[in-house]
């Protein structure tokens, strides 16, 4: 490894001569299919008993570091970057193998809010790594949304100061908000209307309800009531109005979303008085989803893929609605980029 001109010294010492010396960085052990993690922590004092373990992971030499003026060890650099980035709803971990994670500090699910331009600007500095989720990704309590580290064992402090300056300037322009933060999801009480003569008559078992309930409950909300209706537009309109009168936070209508002549749901949602944001999305699966608002209440018409596909347009839009977003036509248009899943 090349030593910097600032005076940082990395001494390479044979392990047999390392007893009593302190490690300059964490050492990782990998046992394929069994274990990957830290074997020795930075600062660990080598003992005679450690030598066989070091040799087992292929370490015949270790580094002892003496930092020069203006240099930061990887752990301190990662900690400073994470501390600068720590935003609403987040908490940071202790360094582990040179990495500091930024995690959700909420006790409810949330969605990540990531400013991509800041992430790119930080990574463009070189020798520094900031990895994040995509914005709007769902984050469970305690889940990671970002992680910081530097690539070498030490980095010029000036680079970390530039990261801090980038984040500081962003905060000044955005009312103190961090470019890496999390928004909590509200707990909604949702009214569900399942349409289809075959289900209404009992000819087949309802499979839509359990699927929607599973998705909703995983995000901390609930199906407060489920109603059933045949493929009759006037009946569907009547049931939608009933659910609206119950003051539920959201209305979901399943079934009857295709272009078949027996499918009445889109027309019924419109006739009920909804403002249709979009009937159809550029995402697959889930292109036949309807998004609208009825007297300010979100109303969605769900296509059949929600019953059997693990990730659809419903999974994309629902968390944003629970976080308080009002879905616009532009939001729907943008779902096509990266919107091909399992097809």
pLDDT at residue 340, as a whole number:
96
Same domain, 102 and 47: no
- The CA distances from residue 239 to 206, 257, 272, in Å, are 17, 16, 9
- Nearest 5°: phi and psi at 84? -70, -35
Per-residue pLDDT of the chain (343 residues; tens, 9 = 90+): 334 445 666 788 898 988 887 787 788 888 888 888 888 887 778 899 989 999 999 989 988 766 778 988 888 999 999 999 999 999 999 998 789 999 999 999 999 999 999 999 999 999 999 999 999 999 999 999 999 999 988 899 999 999 999 999 999 999 999 999 999 999 999 999 999 888 888 889 999 999 999 999 999 999 999 999 999 999 999 999 999 999 999 999 998 887 654 568 999 999 999 999 999 999 999 999 999 999 999 999 999 999 999 999 999 999 999 999 999 999 999 999 999 997 6
Same domain, 246 and 124: no
pLDDT at residue 68, as a whole number:
76
Residue ending a domain, among 139, 161, 184, is: 184
Q: What DSSP letter does each residue of 312-341 carry, written as one string?
A: -HHHHHHHHHHTT----HHHHHGGGTT-B-
Same domain, 91 and 150: yes
pLDDT at residue 3, as a whole number:
42
* CA pair distance 119, 5, nearest whole angstrom: 29
For 176, other C-beta atoms within 10 Å of its C-beta total 10
pLDDT at residue 5, as a whole number:
43
Same domain, 59 and 107: no
pLDDT at residue 149, as a whole number:
95
pLDDT at residue 157, as a whole number:
95
Same domain, 60 and 82: no
Residues 148 and 85 sit within 8 Å (Cβ to Cβ): yes
The boundaries of the domain holding residue 159 are 71-184
| Measured CA angle at 29 (ends 26, 102), to 5 deg | 55
Same domain, 136 and 252: no
* CA pair distance 186, 321, nearest whole angstrom: 9
First to last CA, the chain: 46
pLDDT at residue 186, as a whole number:
98
pLDDT at residue 223, as a whole number:
98
Same domain, 250 and 166: no
Same domain, 323 and 196: yes
Whichever domain contains 317, its CATH number is: 3.40.980.10
- Nearest 5°: phi and psi at 103? -120, 165
Same domain, 264 and 325: yes
């Amino acid at each position: 490894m090349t030593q910097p001109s600032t005076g940082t010294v990395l001494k390479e010492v044979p392990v047999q001569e390392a007893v009593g010396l302190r490690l300059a960085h964490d050492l990782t052990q990998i046992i394929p299919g069994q274990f990957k993690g830290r074997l020795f922590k930075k600062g660990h004092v080598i003992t005679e008993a450690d030598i066989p373990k070091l040799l087992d992971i292929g370490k015949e030499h270790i580094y002892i570091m003496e930092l020069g003026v203006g240099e930061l060890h990887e752990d301190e650099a990662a900690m400073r970057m994470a501390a600068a980035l720590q935003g609403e709803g987040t908490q940071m971990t202790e360094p582990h193998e040179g990495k500091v994670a930024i995690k959700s500090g909420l006790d409810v699910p949330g969605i990540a809010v990531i400013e991509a331009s800041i992430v790119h600007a930080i990574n463009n500095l070189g020798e520094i790594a900031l990895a994040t989720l995509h914005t709007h990704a769902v984050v469970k309590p305690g889940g990671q949304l970002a992680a910081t580290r530097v690539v070498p064992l030490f980095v010029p402090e000036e680079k970390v100061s530039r990261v801090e300056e980038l984040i500081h300037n962003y905060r000044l322009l955005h009312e103190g908000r961090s470019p890496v933060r999390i928004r909590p999801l509200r707990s909604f009480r949702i009214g569900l209307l399942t349409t289809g003569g075959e289900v209404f008559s009992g000819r087949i078992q309802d499979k839509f309800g359990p699927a929607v309930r599973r998705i909703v409950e995983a995000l901390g909300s609930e199906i407060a009531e489920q109603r059933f209706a045949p493929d009759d537009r006037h009946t569907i309109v009547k049931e939608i109005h009933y659910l609206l009168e119950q003051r539920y936070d959201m209305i979901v209508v399943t079934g009857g979303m295709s272009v078949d002549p027996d499918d009445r749901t889109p027309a019924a949602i419109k006739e009920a008085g909804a403002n249709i944001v979009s009937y159809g999305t550029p995402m697959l699966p889930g292109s036949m989803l309807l998004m609208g608002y009825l007297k300010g209440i979100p109303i969605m018409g769900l296509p059949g893929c929600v019953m059997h596909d693990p990730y659809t347009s419903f999974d994309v839009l629902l968390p944003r609605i629970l976080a308080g977003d009002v879905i616009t036509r532009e939001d729907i248009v943008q779902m096509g980029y990266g919107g091909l899943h399992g097809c």
